[in-house]
Chains A and B, each alone.
Chain A
Amino acid sequence: MNKFLKFLLASLAISASVNAQNHVIDQSGKTFIPSKITVRVGDTITFKNSDPFAHNAYTDEENNEFDVGMQAPSKETVITIKSADSFNVECAIHPNMLLEVIVK
C-alpha cells in the first residue's frame, strides 16, 4: 500500500470516529433512561449506573453481542455498535429493565 493511501485511510478512520456519537444511558430506579435510542454503526453507548446497587446490561443479539458485567454504583462502561442490526438490551439481574436500540 502506498503512503498516500495509508494516509487517506487513516484520516478517513479519524473522521469516522469524529462523526461517531456517544449516547448516554442512565440506569436509575431499575430502568434504562431513555428506554429507546437510535444509533449508527460506530457510535458508542455509555452505560452509567446511578442506582445504589449493581446492574448488568447485556445483549445476546449475535452481531452486537456485549456484556457490561456486574457494574457497581457510579461506574460507567462504554460499548461500541458493531453492526446495523437493531437489538434489545436487558439487565441480567433485573430482567424488567429493557432498552431498545435501533441501529440505522
Chain B
Amino acid sequence: MIFKISLSALLISSFLFATQDMKKWLRPLEVPQPMDNKLTSERVELGKLLYFDARLSSSEQFSCATCHSPKRGWTDLEPVSKALGAGRGPRNSPTILNAGYQNRQFWDGRVKTLEEQALGPIEADVEMNMPLDELIAKLDKIDGYVKLFNQAYPSEGGITKITLAKAIASFERTVVSTIAPFDKYAMGDKKAISKKAVAGFDLFKGKAHCMDCHDNFNFSNGSFHNIGLNDGELQGKELGRYLTKQRAAWYGAFKTPTLRDVTKSAPYFHDGSVKTLEEATSICSSGGRYANGVKNKSTFMLDRKLSQTEIDKIVSFLKTLEGPDMKLEVPSKFPQ
C-alpha cells in the first residue's frame, strides 16, 4: 500500500513536469468505474480469486488466466486461442492490460463494459464451457466464496451473474500499465530512452502516421479499421466488426490494439499471423499486407515508404513501451 502511494505521488508530481503535449501519453491515474461498481479492496480481491480459479470451468482446468496470463503479457502467446465465439473465426487472445480504459471490448467491440464481457468466456463452450446457473450453484456451495461475495457486495443478493461479473471486472480494472522508460521520457527525463527510440517516436507521430490510430496513453484511440491483412473479399476470413452488424464501415475492421507492453504479447494481430514487431510495423506502414483491392481498407493505411532503418527506429521506440510487470500476488489458495 505504501508502495502504491509513493508511486502515485511520483506520478502526480511528474504530471506537473510533463509538457502539455506530452501529457496525453501518460496514463490517467484513475481508471473509469461504473457508478454501481466502484473499486473497493474486497471487490478486487474477490475478483482476483475468481480470475485465477480453474473451478470456474467445467473441466476445472481453465481459468481466465489460462488465456490472459500475467506471466505472458496477459495473453496466452498462442497465435489463436481456441476461443471461437459464435460464428467467429479463431482469434488471438488480446491482453487485458488497460482494458478498463477501453469503451469497447473484444477485437470487434461487441460489448462495451468489462461487466458485460466477463460472463461470456465462462459459458462459451470453447473457453470454459460452464453454464452460469451451474456455476452459481457450485460457488454457492463454497462457503468461503459466499462470505466474500457478501462482504464485497452486501445486500446485492449474494452470488449472482451480476455480482460475479462485477467482481471479475473490478479485478480487471486494476490490471494497468506501469511506468515504462517511455513514460519517464514523457515526464521530462530525456535520457530515459535512446536517441534511436526518440527518432522512432518522431516517425511514429510523423512520417509513419502510426499515431493516426495508435494515439493517447494506451496507444490506441479505440477506433476500428480494416488494415488490409486479408485480400479483397476476405475469402471466408474474418469479417471483424461487420459480424456484429453489417455496416459497410465495419467490413473486415478490428479494434486498434494497445501497444503498451506489446513486446510481451507476440504473436500479433487478431489472427496471430505476425510473429515480430518488425513485421507488424512493416505491414502497418506499407499500406497493409495487401496493397490493392482490399474492400473497405482504412484511408489511413498508405504506403509511408519507410526504409529498413526507419522501421528499426520505430521498433526500438515500441520496446520502450514495456514497463515492469505490475506488483501482483497470484493466489495460491482458493476459498473452500
Contact = CB atoms under 8 A, between A and B. Distances in A.
Interface of A: 30, 53-54, 56, 58, 60, 67, 69-70, 92-96
A56 B224 CA distance: 11
B249 A30 contact: no
A54 B226 CA distance: 13
Contacts of A56: 247, 249
A9 to B, nearest CB: 37
B247 A58 contact: yes
B250 A96 contact: no
Nearest to A97: B223
B104 interface: yes
B121 to A, nearest CB: 22
Contacts of B103: 95-96
Interface string B220-232: 0111110000000
Find the residue from B248, B249, B250, B300 having the highest chain A CB count within 10 A.
B249
Contacts of B6: none
B299 A54 contact: yes
Given A60-B245, A93-B253, 9 more contacts: A53-B300, A54-B299, A58-B247, A94-B223, A95-B103, A95-B104, A95-B222, A96-B103, A96-B222
6 contacts: A53-B212, A56-B247, A60-B245, A70-B249, A93-B253, A95-B103
B104 to A, nearest CB: 5
B109 interface: yes
Contacts of A70: 248-249
Nearest to A71: B249
Most buried by B among A30, A67, A92: A92
Contact of B299 (A53, A58, A67): A53
Nearest to B109: A95
B300 A92 contact: no
Given A53-B300, A54-B299, A94 B221 contact: yes
A95 B249 contact: no
Contacts of A93: 223-225, 249, 253
Given A53-B299, A53-B300, A95 B248 contact: no
A53 B215 CA distance: 16
